[in-house]
């Protein structure tokens, strides 16, 4: 009979013991230590860890030195009266100078100059320039013709009978107004005559 199909007897003296069939299962009792990186020995790993610790300590030291240098730089700028805006202008000027002397900027400038030269010497550019020049000349001539026509029209109006009649009427009205003012000034009493009359009235006997 198969031992696995046998009834479990709670009163059996073999209660709690493994069956004979379980003894064939292999059990790994070793605790083999695997390395973090394949192909490294324990000595090499310890050496790398020591170097990593040393580099991290150097980074912390450099950060502290940099912070001290920045504080000292800020104190010097404050004593010299330099504001953050001055520093920003200086940085922008330096950055722009660096851009101007960079190979990319010089190459782009040279390319643009070549394009500009080719464009100014192209047939399309010349035709466009000639067309604009002709259009400007035609516009100037048209404006000159309009001015001449207006002047000629005004001259014709001045020489017309209607305008001359209107001008004569205006001249007549003007002469009447001026003549009336002159006649009115003659009728005004003379200041000298009135003063003489007053003196005669108050003369003593």
Instruction: Look at residue 162 in the predicted model and tell me its pLDDT.
Output: 80
Contact 125, 119 (CB under 8 A): yes
| Intra-chain end-to-end CA distance of the chain, in Å | 190
Q: What is the pLDDT of residue 110?
A: 83
What is the per-residue pLDDT for 65? 97
3 neighbors 21 (Cβ within 8 angstroms): yes
pLDDT in the model for residue 148: 85
What does the pLDDT read at residue 155?
Answer: 79
Q: What is the dihedral of CA 115, 118, 120, 122, to 10 degrees?
A: -130
pTM score: 0.29
Contact by Cβ (8 Å): 170, 163: no
Point out the residues of the chain with pLDDT beneath 50: 1-5, 7, 15-16, 18-23, 25, 27, 29-35, 188, 191, 193-195, 199, 205
pLDDT of residue 48: 94
Neighbours of 82 (CB within 10 A): 13
């Amino acid at each position: 009979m198969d031992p696995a199909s046998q009834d479990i007897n709670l009163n059996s003296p073999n209660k709690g013991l493994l069956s004979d069939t379980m003894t064939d299962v292999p059990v790994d009792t070793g605790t083999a230590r695997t390395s973090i990186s394949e192909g490294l020995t324990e000595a090499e790993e310890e050496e790398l860890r020591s170097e990593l610790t040393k580099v991290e300590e150097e980074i912390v030291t450099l950060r502290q030195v940099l912070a001290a240098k920045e504080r000292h730089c800020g104190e010097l700028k404050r004593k010299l009266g330099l504001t953050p805006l001055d520093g920003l202008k200086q940085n922008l000027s330096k950055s722009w100078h660096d851009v101007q002397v960079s190979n990319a900027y010089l190459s782009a400038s040279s390319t643009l100059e070549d394009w500009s030269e080719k464009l100014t010497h192209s047939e399309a550019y010349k035709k466009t320039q000639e067309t604009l020049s002709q259009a400007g000349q035609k516009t100037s001539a048209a404006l000159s013709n309009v001015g001449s026509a207006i002047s000629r029209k005004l001259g014709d109006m001045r020489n017309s009978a209607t305008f001359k009649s209107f001008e004569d009427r205006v001249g007549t009205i003007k002469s009447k107004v001026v003549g009336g003012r002159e006649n009115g000034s003659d009728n005004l009493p003379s200041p000298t005559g009135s003063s003489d009359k007053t003196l005669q009235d108050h003369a003593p006997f």
